[in-house]
A and B are shown apart, each in its own frame.
Chain A
Amino acid sequence: MSNVYIDQFPAEAKVIRAAFYSSFLALALGGVFGIIQTLHRTDFLRFMDSVDYYTVLTAHGVFLVISFTIFFLVGIFTWAVTTSLDRGLEDIRFTWGWYSLMAIGITMTGVAILAGFTDAIDMSASVLFTFYAPLQAHPLFYLGLVLFVVGTWVAGVDWFRSWWAWKAENPDERIPLPTFMVLTTMLMWYIATLGVAAAILLFLLPWSLGLIETVNPLLTRTLFWFFGHPVVYFWLMPAYMMWYVMLPKFSGGKLFSDPLARVVFVLFLILSVPTGIHHQYLDPGIAEGFKFIAMTNTMFLLLPSLLTAFTVVASMEHGARQRGGEGYFGWLKALPWRDPVFTGMALAGLMFAAAGFSGMINAGMNINYLVHNTFWVVGHFHLTVGTAVALTFMAVTYWFLPQVTGKALWSRSVALGQVVVWFVGMTFMSNAMHRAGLLGVPRRTAEPQYEGFEFQAAVGSIGELDAQIALGGVLLTISLGMFFANVVGTALNGRSDDLPANEYAGALSGPDDAPLVLDNLKLWTAIAVVLVIFAYTFPLLSIIDRGGLFGPEVIPFPLTVESATTLGFALETAASTSFESAGEIATSALTAVMR
């Protein structure tokens, strides 16, 4: 038997394959909607009505940041647990159960979104990825999301079961690093998803089903961001895992420090959730003091990212020197740039550094006011989830796909070109988005170029920024095409006997150097829960106290052009009637006074 993953764990390889292919389908759909909206918004190619822009934007967001990322990460988490514990999952039917829940859930959500393109079905969910009230989606959208998230919860139980079984057989062993990373990520996810579960099950779904009349939009919005910021770490932590356990291996060396990696994941577990309010700096109804606490927590989150930058670069340097690299910077030449897995991850990490800087600006309460709800924010998250995560996932696919299919990669050269084209495309696109945001160009609109108003560009012009965004979008689409050519080409290849062994990087400083307390998951979970209680109890009580649990009466959206016209006419009539009445009263009062 070879040392390839599919031969070691054939049943698990099937599940991972299914998760990967689901992820790639979502990536393809999300990518198509991405280029459509890019060309529409920049006014280079318009073939749809601007009203449909929001359906396209919802599909782009949900398919990419929910289904592409999460399906991929459950695949690599399954690989990480089975490989590092060196045991199969406890019950493969249970595993297929959570995969099916996720697949059914996202299909329901996807149908609800895509139905918005046709009037033949009375269904729509053009509520964007953030699904803020008063935007209202069809119940199928929320039900699908619930099933999808429950699927991820059950997946976490599956991985914990493996660990518990392994621990019973190895009571004195330290948790292997990849499994440690999976478990801490899932604990963070369990805490984080309580917010979105509450928002959907207690408020949005009953509201959408007509069981309750109104919701408190600020409350559901706050509950969304309770989940909405840590979900970023749910995407990022698997990418970090790849940088810690795979990148050193491809560099030709070992991870610099296993204990430091554990510290980083513990910090993410305890600090990811009590920060969500920093997305709501401009929301009225939340006291500035609570926002200040959220900002402080967010700034602490920079620490694990900076530790990661140090550890990963140190590991790469170690690998390069093992390969004969010399000098202060000369070792960079010795890195395996010909390997698309390495190059893709290295470029992703580099762009993440830029994302960290723009993230600090987002996190700063005062300077955030300058860029809040502008195109800057879109530029920022295209560097984080759109590159640090997506490019890392695409790059490691070139190693994982042969492992779970037993087939050689179709073309390493195309793969290398793909990751480089993604880097260049995203550079053009995100740079222009950031710059446009600084000019005040808004996000979440199909028509950013208001009539009778000119944005004043400090450098270049709005037209140039639009051209740069469109160029970036086209390059990213080409890169996606190259990626899918490789995926399909690999799937069509025959079985290969010449594949690398399934293994991950060792560590220069191993788990024995890490204090035992780092493996005390109960302690870190308890601290995380306490921090969440500190950060959220008073803001939530204050929001409920001011706006009520179910809020004041709101008008359900989508608000159509017809209903807006009717509403406008009604307001105009009411206003003119009032003016007439007021005029009559004033006239009679004046007449009376004059008499």
Chain B
Amino acid sequence: MRISKAALLVVIALTVPILVELRTVLAWVNVELTVLESAVLGMTMILAILIWALWPQNGRGDPSRSG
């Protein structure tokens, strides 16, 4: 893992404010997402974060010094 499980939890939590604000921001450029589309986008973002976090970094295991 690239980051600790706890840090991963926090990163996933941080996607929530980004997602809810992104919906408003996109509306300014005439991209209006429905709730379902927003949810799908959120899931995609979380999936991408999970893949990034779980993918081994240069073959190393868990980060030893992260919290």
Contacts and interface: CB of A to CB of B under 8 A. Distances in A.
Nearest to B26: A459
A354 B21 CA distance: 12
B10 A424 contact: no
Given A347-B10, A423-B13, A334 B20 contact: no
Given A324-B65, A333-B63, A424-B16, A338 B4 contact: yes
Given A323-B65, A459-B27, A459-B32, A337 B17 contact: no
Contacts of B16: 423-424, 427-428
How many residues of B sit at the interface, in one of the four size bands?
A: 20 to 34
A588 to B, nearest CB: 65
B9 interface: yes
B67 A337 contact: yes
Nearest to B12: A420
Contact of B6 (A323, A416, A423, A431): A416
A173 B57 CA distance: 52
Contacts of B7: 333, 335, 337
Contacts of B44: none
B4 A337 contact: yes
Nearest to A412: B6
A354 B17 CA distance: 11
A206 interface: no
B15 to A, nearest CB: 10
A337 B63 CA distance: 13
Contacts of A435: 24
A23 interface: no
A501 interface: no
Contact of A336 (B13, B24, B32, B67): B67
B3 interface: yes
Given A336-B67, A339-B67, A435-B24, A420 B35 contact: no
Contacts of B10: 337, 343, 347, 420
A338 to B, nearest CB: 4
B66 interface: yes
A468 B42 CA distance: 15
A259 B7 CA distance: 32
A468 B39 CA distance: 12
Contacts of A427: 16-17, 20
B9 A431 contact: no
Contact of A420 (B13, B32, B66, B67): B13
A516 interface: no
Contacts of A416: 6, 9
A337 B13 contact: no
Given A428-B20, A459-B27, A333 B66 contact: yes
Given A416-B6, A464-B35, A335 B67 contact: yes
Given A347-B10, A431-B17, A333 B24 contact: no
Interface residues of A, number: 28
B55 to A, nearest CB: 15
Interface string B28-67: 0000100100000000000000000000000000010111
Interface string A323-349: 111000000011111110011000100
Nearest to B19: A427
A227 to B, nearest CB: 32
Contacts of B63: 333
A460 interface: yes
Contacts of A342: 67
A145 B6 CA distance: 42
Contacts of B35: 460, 464, 467
Given A424-B13, A458-B27, A337 B20 contact: no
A458 B66 CA distance: 42
Interface centre among B4, B23, B24, B67 (most CB of A within 10 A): B67
A347 B7 CA distance: 12
B66 A334 contact: yes
Nearest to A416: B6
A489 to B, nearest CB: 20
Contact of A460 (B4, B23, B67): B23
Contacts of A324: 65
B21 to A, nearest CB: 7
A69 to B, nearest CB: 24
A582 B9 CA distance: 75
B24 A338 contact: no
A333 B13 CA distance: 15
Interface in A455-470: 458-460, 464, 467-468
B6 A334 contact: no
Contact of A431 (B20, B65, B67): B20
Contacts of B20: 427-428, 431, 468
A337 B24 contact: no
B2 to A, nearest CB: 8
Q: By CB atoms of chain A within 10 A, which of B5, B7, B10 has the most?
A: B10
A516 to B, nearest CB: 39
A333 B67 CA distance: 7
Nearest to A464: B35
Contacts of B4: 333, 337-338
Contacts of A354: 17
Given A335-B7, A343-B10, A459-B24, 8 more contacts: A337-B10, A337-B66, A420-B13, A427-B16, A427-B17, A427-B20, A435-B24, A459-B27
16 contacts: A323-B67, A324-B65, A325-B65, A336-B67, A337-B6, A337-B66, A338-B67, A354-B17, A416-B9, A424-B16, A428-B16, A435-B24, A458-B27, A459-B24, A459-B27, A467-B35
- A-B interface, 7 closest residue pairs, ranked by CB to CB distance from nearest: A336-B67, A338-B6, A337-B6, A337-B7, A459-B27, A324-B65, A337-B67
